């Protein structure tokens, strides 16, 4: 049975290579003015693959992964022995944290959530969040900040 890097298991961070950060940035730029979205797969706390997926809602303020592409990506990752580590999407107009809708519609308690937004200079910024209360329908939902480490040296994501 796979183990996931959840905060409760001491894994409040994910690691990924700079090329994967750039792949997400490029996909988000291509999706503008809509929210861009996708999935991150890997092993343990190490992201090995980024899969951009079309926003089925075609909206600048909401996202939903295109279902067929999501299923295909998850099946392919499973065949490769990779686990779903995170879901990413952008907030081109903010906020810099999960929205109420993000929290209410979250469906993968084992996955981290990366939220991208543009600062005042229109540069992409990113934060990693762990959503809470997803496994228990009666529990209050919320989020806590995680840590995103770029490359093995643990550099902060480039601004």
Active site residues: 35
- The phi, psi pair for 100, rounded to 5°, reads -60, -40
* Start-end of H helices in 9-142: 18-31, 67-79, 100-105
For 125-150, give the DSSP string: EEEEEEEES-S-TTSPPEEEE-EEEE
- Tokens 């003015």: give the residue: 33
Task: Determine the Cα–Cα distance for residues 83 and 73; give it in Å rounded to an integer.
Answer: 11
């Amino acid at each position: 049975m796979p183990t996931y890097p959840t905060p409760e298991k001491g894994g409040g961070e994910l690691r990924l290579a700079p090329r994967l950060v750039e792949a997400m940035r490029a996909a988000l730029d291509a999706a503008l003015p809509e929210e861009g979205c996708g999935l991150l797969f890997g092993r343990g706390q190490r992201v090995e693959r980024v899969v951009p997926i079309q926003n089925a809602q075609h909206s600048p303020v909401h996202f939903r992964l295109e279902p067929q592409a999501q299923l295909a990506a998850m099946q392919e990752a499973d065949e490769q022995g990779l686990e779903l580590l995170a879901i990413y999407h952008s907030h081109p107009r903010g906020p810099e944290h999960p929205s109420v809708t993000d929290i209410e519609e979250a469906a993968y308690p084992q996955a981290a959530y990366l939220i991208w937004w543009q600062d005042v200079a229109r540069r992409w910024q990113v934060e990693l969040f762990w959503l809470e209360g997803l496994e228990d329908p009666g529990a209050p939902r919320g989020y806590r900040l995680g840590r995103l480490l770029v490359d093995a040296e643990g550099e902060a994501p480039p601004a």
